[in-house]
Amino acid sequence: MRKMVQTGLLMGLTCNVMASEQSEMSATLSQLSGQKVEVTQVNKTAMNGVKEIVVKAKQGNEIIYMSDDGQFIVEGNIINIKSGINLKTETERSLRKELMADHAESLQSIDFYPDAMKQHVTVFTDIDCGYCRKLHEEIDQYNDLGIGVSYVFFPRGGLNSGSYDKAVNVWCAEDQQQALSDAKSGGEIKPMMCENPITSQFNLGIQAGVHKVGTPSIVLTDGTLVRGYMPPKNLKAKLDQLKEK
């Protein structure tokens, strides 16, 4: 019983210390930038004397690094020479995995699944994106390899663009799969209006970092963001490699 109480006190103290550190970092960065900054995480890194700071921003999380004494801020990548791992990329991947998991139940998508689905990816797509169209031209090949694809929309021109309107038209069509295929092949889709998730999908893409890399953006189950088109066999090899880890 005493051990349980001690453990509970230690966990509570740790949480309080973490919250205090986040609050302190938020105040410091707010004063430095002249605007309100919200720090959501303060993490140790494998690099001695350097902390990782995760900042909540309008366009997803921003990651910066700070010396333990609080005297220096570093913006950019930190790479472990021995392993080749980019610490910033790894944190972004982890945050993206959490983000997609948080939206898993509520995320609406247009799905192209094989009969026997072995692997799954989420693709942020744009109707007018050339490489998005190339990816969709080969959707049967992805499915033949056992890869299921869930499409969500990310109109690159924003929420007041022609691409956004086309995404709405596809979503509101009676046969969404056929409408998407027709739209991506350059066909005209009947203008339609209905309740739709295009805005929320776009905002999710912002949080996931899609605006930084463009479309198509392929999100793997571990949170990895694959930039651009990837041939079916290459994607299968990457997914197989992921399963082996």
Tell me the catalytic residues: 126, 129, 132, 156
**CB 207 within 8 Å of CB 58:** no
Q: How many CB atoms lie within 10 A of CB 73?
A: 13
| HSE-up of residue 189 (Cα within 13 Å, Cβ side) | 30
List, in order, residues 6 or more apart from 93 with CB less than 8 Å away.
222, 223, 224, 225
**Distance, CA of 231 to CA of 106 (rounded, Å):** 29
Q: Using CA of residue 143, residue 147, residue 148, residue 154, what is the dihedral sign?
A: negative
End-to-end, the C-alpha distance of the chain in Å comes to 39
Strand 119-125 versus strand 147-153 pairing type: parallel
Q: Report the SS3 class of residue 33.
A: helix
CA–CA separation, 20 and 83 (whole Å): 33
Q: How far apart are CA 58 and CA 60, in angstroms?
A: 6
Q: What are the helix (H) ranges across the chain?
A: 2-33, 87-102, 130-137, 139-144, 162-172, 176-184, 198-208, 210-213, 232-244
